[in-house]
A = this chain, B = another copy of it.
Amino acid sequence: MDRGQSNDAMLYLTDEQLLQGIELMFFAYKGFTSDPDRILEEYKYGRAHHRAIHFINRSHAITVNGLLTILGVTKQSLNRVLRQLIHDGMVESRVGTEDKRQRHLHLTNEGRLLEKELSKVQSDRVREAYKAAGPDAVQGFRKVLENMVDHDMKPSIETLGTERG
């Protein structure tokens, strides 16, 4: 390997170092999605389905608008995959109790099974990468990625995994 930089090299980050970072993002993201993609193929689903399933699982009873905000796509685009998932019995859409215009999204038992199947292989890869890199590296990984996220999206992230989204 030996593609790292000495600590003081941060004072002037070379173009080469930045381009390496860009390429690392490209190749890592490719690897990151490859395992779930194989499973999705069997279900005739795509990455969009995976993302919907992931965030419905993570944000209990999330509304359609909430999911739209997190995913950053149009409602027409989301509706296409949501319609399929609901039709296939993976996702349930419940009328809101407070606001009856809203639809609250839940995974069905079958949806939960698929979610587990997908998150298993993806988590496995992340876990292996974490383990191979070590705890300090994980800290750094998280720090850099957090700083790469658009500021607009940060509120969305913060609420994930904390009961309701």
**A contact residues vs B (CB 8 Å cutoff):** 1, 3-5, 7-10, 13, 15-16, 18-32, 34, 51, 54, 58, 72, 119, 122-123, 125-150, 153, 156-157, 160-161
Contacts and interface: CB of A to CB of B under 8 A. Distances in A.
A19 B140 contact: no
Contacts of A140: 133-134, 136-141, 143-144
Given A4-B142, A30-B72, A140-B138, A147 B132 contact: yes
B22 A126 contact: yes
A20 to B, nearest CB: 7
A24 B145 contact: yes
Q: How many copies of this protein are present in the complex? A: 2
A139 B16 contact: no
Contacts of A125: 148
Contact of A129 (B1, B8, B126, B147): B147
24 contacts: A4-B142, A5-B135, A5-B139, A18-B119, A18-B123, A19-B123, A20-B142, A21-B130, A22-B119, A23-B58, A27-B145, A27-B150, A27-B157, A28-B148, A28-B149, A30-B153, A125-B148, A130-B147, A133-B140, A133-B143, A133-B144, A136-B140, A138-B140, A140-B141
